[in-house]
């Protein structure tokens, strides 16, 4: 059947339920698309059998009148999630060949809800990056090309680059992503799809390879807001195996979805107007502000005075936590082992880590161990923790005068592969609008809002109060409906 890969999560779920098509047909159509889309390098492992088995279970469940929320929906799973007996590498050579004997809570929740897995999605190594170029398995290509004839391959963003590319190219109707400092939102913006990072603690981190534990959060990426709400509902929930998991019921976000934002106060943080950001970013932001005003929201000017410290704070805290988390890769317990002949244990650690980690990961381990070292702990790590508290307080103050914040998601459209890969600072600057909400643990969504002059997608971000995903999704839906973004990349793969 043709056309099935044009459907999103809600349409697949409803079509399987009403018998318009079988789950098996859906799984077959997407698995064929995954195979045809290999030039994008979005998947590190393809698991068509997993998708088919779940589909057959869904078709049987329909016959028995026992459909589940995601019966018949095939998904891509970011390779940061441990999947039982399926290779899980977090984009790193150091986990080469690792097949976890357990399932991450998030992927397990999705499968328990009836979803199947099309495969594992490529990503920046240990989720460190904004372009998917730090993956040990090569960069992911964006399905988008600039319309001006400049055919340079573009990044789909990162670190959830495979996730973004797979959804935009219609290889999967929805996927998991993870967001430590923007990795769901920035790639979603770069490829014209929707992605939400929920409140820190909504989704269990158990079985999700750790990068920076106080920031890491799972979330969905899909074609629209409704599909994200459906996926997030299935992913989220209390998990006693994660000590930071929130022991709260999962709201029925989809059933409560409403694009009615009349009376909502939407804050425009003045410190997000940053010198050097291209005019097209300001323009799409102004457009979003006008659309929300038209929808009946009240637009208010707000101040988040510590915004300019967010990026340096993030790039102290995230590497510090990463250096500690990544100490477990020692050649003994997981994946790769390099043991020089006649070497001792330390030689093995060193050889394994030298061969297993890529340049960006090594850079972060060095920064992290430096800022945590006895001589510099107070000057860097401790101070960064204090500034983090001030950043969180900025948001608390903003919520006194507004309900949501509207900002650009990223300071540019997608850039070309190679354009920033030799300049870590330029790469880090890409996270400027994303990291404040991460440091404060707040829910934030990116919704596609338009195309730039070169025909590339631009996204807008909505940030909400802790636990108020509903308002974020609702305002996202209002923006989605009014922006009417319908562009999609022309297939070349
Ligand atoms: N680009 C940011 C970084 O490199 C964020 C990554 C993420 O959210 N996983 O750390």
Report DSSP letters for 270-317, one per residue.
GGG--TT--HHHHHHHHHHHHHHHHTTPEEEEE--TTGGGHHHHHHHH
Query: With bands split at pLDDT 50, 70 and 90, how would you rate the model's confidence at 334?
Result: confident
Q: Which atom of ligand 1 has the smallest separation from the CA of 318? A: 10
Look at 422 and 107; give whichever has higher pLDDT: 107
The whole-number pLDDT of residue 380 equals 98
Predicted TM-score (pTM) above 0.95: yes
The whole-number pLDDT of residue 149 equals 65
d(CA 204, CA 201): 7
Average pLDDT of 57-78? 98
Half-sphere exposure of 381 toward its Cβ, with a 13 Å CA cutoff? 18
Tell me which fold the domain 1-493 belongs to: Amidase signature (AS) enzymes (3.90.1300)
Question: Is the model's pLDDT at 327 over the cut of 50?
Answer: yes
Percent of all residues in the chain with a pLDDT value above 70, rounded to a whole number: 99
d(CA 11, CA 62): 16
d(CA 13, CA 420): 40
Q: In degrees to the nearest 10, what's the CA dihedral of 463, 468, 474, 475?
A: -20
Whether ligand 1 lies within 6 angstroms of the CB of 179 is answered as yes
The whole-number pLDDT of residue 39 equals 98
Structural tokens at position 171 = 């290889």
Give which of 214, 183, 398 is closest to 306, Cα–Cα. Answer: 398
| Tens-place pLDDT, residues 213-266 | 999 999 999 999 999 999 999 999 999 999 999 999 999 999 999 999 999 999
**Mean pLDDT across the chain:** 97
- Cα of 373 to ligand 1 centre, how many Å? 23
Which residues does 279 contact at the CB level (< 8 Å), separation at least 6?
Answer: none
Residue with CA at minimum distance from ligand 1 atom 4: 129
| Tens-place pLDDT, residues 107-128 | 999 999 999 999 999 999 999 9
Half-sphere exposure of 115 toward its Cβ, with a 13 Å CA cutoff? 29
The whole-number pLDDT of residue 117 equals 99
Q: What is the best residue among 132, 155, 180, 213 to mutate for testing ligand 1's pocket, by most ligand atoms within 8 Å of CB?
A: 180
- Cα of 282 to ligand 1 centre, how many Å? 23
Average pLDDT of 425-444? 96
Residue 405 has phi, psi (to 5 degrees) of -120, 140
- Helix (H) / strand (E) element for 47: namely none
d(CA 369, CA 459): 35
* 54 alpha carbon, distance to own chain's centre: 24
- Cα of 129 to ligand 1 centre, how many Å? 5
* 292 alpha carbon, distance to own chain's centre: 25
Residue 241: count other Cβ atoms within 10 Å of its Cβ: 11
The whole-number pLDDT of residue 1 equals 43
């Amino acid at each position: 059947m043709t056309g099935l890969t044009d459907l999103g999560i809600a349409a697949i779920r409803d079509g399987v339920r009403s018998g318009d098509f079988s789950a098996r047909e859906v799984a077959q159509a997407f698995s064929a698309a995954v195979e045809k889309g290999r030039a994008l390098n979005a998947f590190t492992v393809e698991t068509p059998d997993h998708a088919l088995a779940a589909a057959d279970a869904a078709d049987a469940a329909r016959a028995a009148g026992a459909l589940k929320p995601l019966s018949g929906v095939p998904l891509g799973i970011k390779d940061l999630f441990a999947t039982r007996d399926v290779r899980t590498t977090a984009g790193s050579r150091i986990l080469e060949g690792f097949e976890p004997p357990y399932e991450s809570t998030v992927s397990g929740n999705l499968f328990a809800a009836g979803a199947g897995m099309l495969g594992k999605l490529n990503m920046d190594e240990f989720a460190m990056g904004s372009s998917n170029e730090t993956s040990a398995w090569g960069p992911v290509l964006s399905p988008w090309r600039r319309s001006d004839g400049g055919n340079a391959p573009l990044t789909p963003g990162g670190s959830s680059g495979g996730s973004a590319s797979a959804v935009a190219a219609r290889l999967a109707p929805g996927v998991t992503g993870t967001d430590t400092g923007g990795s769901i939102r920035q790639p979603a913006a770069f490829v014209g799809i929707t992605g939400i990072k929920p409140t820190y603690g909504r989704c269990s981190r158990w079985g999700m390879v750790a990068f920076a534990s106080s920031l890491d959060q799972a979330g969905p990426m899909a074609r629209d807001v409704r599909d994200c709400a459906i996926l997030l509902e299935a992913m989220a929930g209390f998990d006693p195996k994660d000590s930071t998991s929130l022991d709260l019921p999962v709201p029925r976000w989809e059933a409560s979805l409403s694009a009615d934002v009349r009376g909502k106060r939407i804050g425009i943080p003045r410190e997000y107007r940053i010198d050097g950001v291209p005019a097209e970013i300001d323009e799409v932001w102004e457009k979003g502000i006008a659309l929300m005003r038209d929808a009946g929201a009240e637009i208010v000017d707000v101040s988040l005075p510590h915004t300019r410290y967010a990026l340096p704070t993030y790039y102290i805290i995230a590497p510090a936590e990463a250096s500690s988390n990544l100490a477990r890769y020692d050649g003994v317990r997981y994946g790769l082992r390099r043991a020089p002949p006649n070497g001792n244990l330390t030689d093995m650690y060193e050889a394994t880590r030298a061969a297993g980690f890529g340049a960006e990961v090594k850079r972060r381990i060095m920064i992290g161990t430096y800022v945590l070292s006895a001589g510099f702990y107070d000057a860097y790590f401790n101070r960064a923790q204090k500034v983090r508290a001030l950043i969180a307080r900025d948001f608390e103050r903003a919520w006194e005068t507004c309900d949501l914040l509207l900002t650009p998601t990223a300071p540019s459209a997608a850039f070309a592969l190679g354009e920033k890969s030799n300049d870590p600072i330029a790469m880090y600057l890409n996270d400027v609008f994303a990291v404040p909400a991460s440091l404060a643990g707040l829910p934030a969504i990116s919704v596609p809002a338009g195309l730039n002059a070169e025909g590339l997608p631009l996204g807008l971000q909505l940030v909400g109060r802790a636990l108020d995903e509903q308002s974020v999704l609702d305002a996202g839906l209002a923006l989605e409906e009014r922006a009417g973004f319908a562009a999609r990349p022309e297939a070349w793969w």
